[in-house]
Homo-oligomer: A and B are copies of this chain.
Amino acid sequence: MARTQPTSFLRPTIRDVAAQAGVSVSSVSRVLNREPHTSPELHARIMRVVDRLGFEPHSAAQALRSRASNTIGCMVSDISNPLYSEMVNAAEEELQRAGYVLMLGATRHAEERETAFISAVRRRRMDGLLLFAGDNTHKDFTSALATLDLPCIGIDREVPGAPSVRADHRGGGFEVTRYLIGLGHRRIALLTGPAAVLPSTERVAGYRQAHIEAGLDVDLDLVRPQVHGSGIAFSDVCQLLQGPAPPTAIITLGTHMLASVMDALASNGIRYPSDISLVCIGDTDLARHATPAISTLTWDLSEIGRIAAKTLLERIRDGDQAQDTRPIYLPTRFILRHSCAEPRAK
């Protein structure tokens, strides 16, 4: 009887509900969890009290007892990168609908933050994990990940023992490079993310493949992986343009990097498509509305997020079965605009 009259400043517990309704705690739990074997009258009586008291179950207690936290971890290097934020947005929508809450962990490319997040995932007994593209040479992180027995999906990333959802960056890189080669370009610069991140790795592979198929050598000096942040692309582009054998075409990421590249072109007095051809990867307002508009390799970011979320939910439901870990690929699409031309005759 001690808790029949709940003190006003304390949130009501399931015992308060049980006491006020004159039933047992277990009945309240059963009703709240829609279990069978509960009479309609009991249900009505309990729900009335629940509403009156504004009872809301304490999810930590639920998690402790039932071993499900209804929480999904989402590890991403940089949520302010529009490529990621669009995928996260779509995934969150899908997971929210299924009753899960997303826990965000932005790693900012630091391995120490990655391992810290994995630790948080373990302590909080999260139910699943979405792992976005990141540096796959981080060994501490990889080994921390290996100890994690948890449904997991890689997004533009390979995760041992887990399926991944990816855009076909290799195919995209191939298509774009082949297109430029077809126009007659022989020195094509590729500005992409760090080499150890899957999309970049794949992109470079596609770039090489296109060269090989055309019987051309690859000049690795033209492949310039960019470190994150700042407008580092700027100096790389300047260096290339001012070098002995400047490129006649540039492939760059469509995010901030494209803006840096355009700055670099401008400050070297070089115009596209007349002086140099330009293709970007990842469609943006800037690519669409620059003058001339920039030909772009694009793919469906939201769809990747959605598929990743759905696949994760399936794996959570199916438990240990469904060990199909084949990657799911989404196609890229090349949008031709007006930023490319045949290279200048010497």
Residues of B within 8 A of A92 (CB): 79, 104, 106
State the CA gap A119–B57 with chains docked (Å).
10
Using known A-B contacts A80-B85, A125-B58, determine if residue A102 contacts B101 with beta carbons closer than 8 Å. no
Which of A43-51, A60-68, A213-221, A233-241 has 4 or more CB atoms under 8 Å from chain B? A60-68
Q: Are A124 and B59 in contact (CB under 8 A)?
A: yes
State the CA gap A89–B74 with chains docked (Å).
13
Residues of B within 8 A of A120 (CB): 101
In the assembled complex, how far is the CB of residue A57 from the closest CB belonging to chain B, in whole angstroms? 6
Task: Let me know if A291 is at the binding interface, CB within 8 A.
Answer: yes
Task: Let me know if A147 is at the binding interface, CB within 8 A.
Answer: yes
Task: Let me know if A338 is at the binding interface, CB within 8 A.
Answer: no
What is the size category of the interface that chain A forms with chain B? 35 or more
Task: Let me know if A93 is at the binding interface, CB within 8 A.
Answer: yes
Q: Are B101 and A103 in contact (CB under 8 A)?
A: yes
Which of A193-201, A281-289, A306-314, A321-329 has 4 or more CB atoms under 8 Å from chain B? A281-289
Number of copies: 2
Q: Are B64 and A60 in contact (CB under 8 A)?
A: yes
Task: Let me know if A86 is at the binding interface, CB within 8 A.
Answer: yes
Q: Are B86 and A123 in contact (CB under 8 A)?
A: no
In the assembled complex, how far is the CB of residue A8 from the closest CB belonging to chain B, in whole angstroms? 11
* Contact among B82, B123, B289 for A82, CB-based, below 8 A: B82
State the CA gap A259–B122 with chains docked (Å).
43
Residues of B within 8 A of A123 (CB): 56-59
In the assembled complex, how far is the CB of residue A203 from the closest CB belonging to chain B, in whole angstroms? 21
Residues of B within 8 A of A182 (CB): none
Using known A-B contacts A256-B285, A259-B289, A286-B286, determine if residue A58 contacts B64 with beta carbons closer than 8 Å. yes
Among A104, A147, A285, the one with the most B-chain Cβ atoms within 10 Å of its Cβ is A285
* Contact among B60, B104, B108 for A63, CB-based, below 8 A: B60
In the assembled complex, how far is the CB of residue A47 from the closest CB belonging to chain B, in whole angstroms? 16
Q: Are A101 and B105 in contact (CB under 8 A)?
A: yes
Q: Are A56 and B96 in contact (CB under 8 A)?
A: no
